[in-house]
């Protein structure tokens, strides 16, 4: 296609937007409102997934070493743990450091336990993380069978409930997003179809005077693309401003409540790309499907 022809189709598509003022406004409004809803759920679900991942990554196996184990035996145990399948990292926590952390965690009340420094009752510990959180139980069961292991702890009941919750939350989130996207596609596409149907006489006249299908389609292609993109830019701007405000005002407070919000960068760029892509696709699809019906004259 020649450059002059492309310019002509683009110019005609832009003119059509201005010429059909109220229908253009209705289409852009439909795109904006529906994609605003999709964007809100998208940001919510991305943050929920981030929270679930963060919580899962905190799951670790605490291996309490037998009090009678010598330094050499502890080193031998470390090597054996390294050979356990699906072990990612191993951190050694001596009982002196463990007691120090315990006292510091209690603040002023920790002074009560200062007397324990002389006869430390705690165990030396290996903190072990699996390659994936879901492999934690298998790693714990394998380590439990090794020599010089007094006890293995990873909060089995809590971890099982955690994985069940995070898996359920991800599935519900994915279902909501897919459902919203399909609903959005059909509602917006139907609105754009109404815009095209209102001009069916124009399309038929062009067809009767000899215009090719491609010549008729391209201005509507450009028009649909612009409707989708312009309509998506509105919710992108609104959500970006709102999320920045939320993150700046409440980010630290929410983090204190053990919920870490995703940083605006690159989250908002990802959200903008998804919404603009959806808007452009729906605009083009709605226009092309509607025009096709009236090209059969």
Domain that holds residue 97: 60-153
The count of structural domains within the chain is 2
Whether 273 shows a pLDDT value over 70: the answer reads: yes
Give the contacts of 165 (CB within 8 A, at least 6 positions apart): 52
pLDDT at 256 (0 to 100): 46
Domain containing residue 95: CATH number: 3.30.70.3040
Among 90, 124, 153, give the residue marking a domain's end. Answer: 153
pLDDT at 14 (0 to 100): 67
Same domain, 168 and 285: yes
Same domain, 174 and 111: no
Q: What is the mean pLDDT of the chain?
A: 77
Tracing tokens 């502890």 back to the chain, one arrives at 74
The pTM score is: 0.66
Same domain, 192 and 238: yes
pLDDT (tens digit per residue) in 39-92: 888 888 888 777 777 777 778 888 898 888 888 988 999 999 999 999 988 888
Among 91, 122, 153, give the residue marking a domain's end. Answer: 153
Same domain, 176 and 246: yes
Same domain, 174 and 231: yes
pLDDT grade for 10, boundaries at 50, 70 and 90: low
Same domain, 190 and 239: yes
Same domain, 48 and 80: no
Whether the ω angle into residue 278 lies within 30 degrees of 0, i.e. cis, is no
Same domain, 66 and 48: no
Give the contacts of 79 (CB within 8 A, at least 6 positions apart): none
Whether 237 shows a pLDDT value over 90: the answer reads: yes
Same domain, 242 and 177: yes
Among 105, 123, 153, give the residue marking a domain's end. Answer: 153
Same domain, 49 and 129: no
């Amino acid at each position: 296609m020649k450059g002059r022809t492309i310019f002509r189709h683009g110019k005609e598509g832009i003119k059509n937007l201005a010429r059909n003022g109220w229908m253009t406004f209705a289409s852009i409004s439909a795109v904006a409102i529906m994609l605003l809803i999709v964007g809100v759920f998208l940001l919510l679900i991305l943050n929920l997934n981030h929270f679930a991942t963060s919580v899962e990554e905190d799951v670790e196996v605490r291996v309490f070493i037998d009090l009678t184990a010598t330094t050499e035996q502890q080193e031998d145990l470390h090597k054996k743990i390294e050979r356990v399948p699906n072990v990612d990292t191993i951190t050694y926590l001596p009982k002196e450091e463990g007691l120090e952390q315990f006292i510091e965690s209690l603040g002023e009340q920790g002074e009560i336990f200062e007397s324990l420094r002389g006869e430390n009752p705690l165990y030396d510990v290996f903190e072990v993380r699996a390659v994936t959180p879901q492999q934690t139980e298998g790693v714990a069961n394998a380590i439990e069978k090794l020599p010089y292991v007094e006890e293995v702890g990873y909060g089995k009941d809590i971890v099982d409930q955690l994985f069940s919750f995070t898996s359920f939350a991800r599935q519900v989130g994915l279902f909501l997003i897919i459902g919203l996207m399909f609903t959005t596609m059909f509602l917006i596409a139907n609105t754009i179809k109404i815009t095209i149907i209102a001009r069916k006489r124009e399309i038929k006249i062009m067809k009767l005077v000899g215009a090719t299908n491609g010549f008729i389609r391209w201005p509507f292609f450009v028009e649909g693309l612009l409707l989708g993109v312009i309509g998506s830019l509105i919710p992108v701007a609104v959500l970006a401003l709102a999320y920045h405000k939320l993150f700046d005002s409440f980010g630290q407070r929410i983090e204190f409540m053990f919920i870490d919000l995703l940083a605006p960068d690159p989250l908002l760029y990802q959200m903008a790309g998804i919404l603009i892509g959806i808007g452009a696709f729906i605009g083009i699809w709605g226009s092309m499907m509607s025009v096709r019906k009236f090209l059969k004259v």
